[in-house]
Structure 1
Amino acid sequence: MRRGILFLALLLASCIGGDDDRPAPIRERKSGPITLNRPTPRETQQCFTDLSREQVRYSPLPDRDFGGGCIVTGAVQLLDIGVPVTNLKSMRCPLARSFAAWVRFAVAPAAKQILGSELVRVESFGTYSCRAIIGSGASGRMSEHGLGNAVDVGGFVLADGRKVRVETGWKSDDPAVREFFQVIHRSACKRFKTVLGPDYNAAHYNHLHLDMGRGPFCA
């Protein structure tokens, strides 16, 4: 059973590895991305409608093939989800929809109720990145980041000036901060296919990895 769990973890994780692991070399096309002229699938159209209904401001992006297996389709650029988010690039619409809902209906209320202050900014490490999964056991498999289907969140800024970061807050001496991260982590596991945090491995010591790839897997 334990061997099966370990295999599943390696199969599902989208940025796996230890401190000495590096992403396998994958390079974008030197001449730049190729725009793919494809009809918009019904599921993507529905996702756009869902974002508009929730009053999320976004800009649809063209489908693009960046080379090296990095292809981003059905993507958007989030413009306004209610609070600023740093470092966001293109992200597939279902990821954007889940991310906006998580910030609005999980992170923001938890900040107010548990930490006693309004959420004023989310600090991310980004979304799209053309690379393979980190980790020696990944065999060069494409990361969900290379498909615009993952986002890494490093911390949050509150109205009272506090910066609550995964790196220092996950096992904080402050029980309220620990509770905050436990609550938003549990919520993320209900909204995303894969959620990886500091308890998963050393590569995630400073962020929460959220993706809509394979799963469900929560660690």
Structure 2
Amino acid sequence: MRRTGRNILRAILLLLLILASAAVFRFGLIPERFLPFPDITLDDPPLIFVDTRIAALRSDPDMCRAILRPPQINAQPITDNVRPNGCGWTDAVRISKVSGAEIGLSALTCETAVALALWMEHGVQPLAMEMFGSRVAWVQDMGTYSCRNIIGNKRWLKMRSQHSYANAVDIGAFRLENGKQMNITRDYRADTPEGRFLREAHMRACPYFRVAIGPEFNEAHHDHLHLDRGLLRSCK
């Protein structure tokens, strides 16, 4: 009986240790420079432990900002803005270009900006060249910061949206250098090259963002892709 009790206690302690370790990596509590992996750069896509390595940048703002460099992204640090109601942002940047494409983001957390740059540089732009022989020249931003709860899903209505922390970005359309434009509302569900491009671009966001959802998720996302680096996980 005593041995059984000790085994149960060991199992409980091991489970708690595993859960604590998972939480440490999930919340990005270990700076990226202390992880046993090469430092993230925008030149090459991280191939292993991608989510953990991006999350670790949350604990190392200086290193995160140092990663955000042209030509993969044009970003300028902005002043922290924490609101009494819990909304606002810390360690955020303003973005004018990502992977050579024009975009206008007034506030996006550095961690999410890294995810955006990796997705555009190693996911979207190669896909555009492969399918259309032309790079993306412009990305329609449909919002980053907005102090509000999650909309469109009754399970999470009382939970703050990641937009409340400038930790999310909504994308509505892409325009290529050859003038072709692909719009989420019009093209996402279509059985056309434009529709296939948008659906594949969506899927290529999933390794870099914890949440990458679009029209197939619910009606609230009929006109955009929602991408964020929050605590939830969904790719649909």
Aligned partners of 1:156, 1:45: CA distance in 2, in Å?
31
Aligned partners of 1:67, 1:111: CA distance in 2, in Å?
43
The Cα RMSD (Å) is: 1.9
State the Cα distance separating 1:178 from its structure 2 match.
Answer: 2.5
Q: How many residues align?
A: 177
Instruction: Pick the structure with more helix per residue.
Output: 2
The structure with the largest alpha-carbon Rg is 2
Deviations 1:44-81 (A, max 9, x none): 11111111386533211121123422120111111332
| 1:118 and 2:135 correspond | yes
Q: Which runs of 4+ in 1 moved over 2 A?
A: 52-57, 115-118, 135-140
Contact 1:151 1:210 in 2 (8 A): yes
- What's the counterpart of residue 11 of structure 2? none
Match of 2:160, SS? coil
Q: 1:141 to 1:158 in 2, by over 3 A?
A: same
Aligned partner of 1:141 among 159, 178, 181: 159
| 1:60 and 2:77 correspond | yes
> 1:32-111 residue pairs with structure 2 within 5 A?
42-52=59-69, 56-81=73-98, 82-86=100-104, 88-111=105-128
| 1:150 and 2:201 correspond | no
Which structure 1 residue ranges, 5 or more long, are not aligned? Answer: 1-40
Question: Percent of aligned positions with the same letter in both sequences?
Answer: 33
| 1:182 and 2:168 correspond | no
Aligned partners of 2:118, 2:157: CA distance in 1, in Å?
33
Q: 1:113 to 1:55 in 2, by over 3 A?
A: closer
Aligned partners of 1:178, 1:42: CA distance in 2, in Å?
38
Aligned partner of 1:163 among 165, 169, 181: 181
Structure with the larger RCO, 1 or 2 (CA within 8 Å, 6+ apart):
1
Contact 1:89 1:126 in 2 (8 A): no
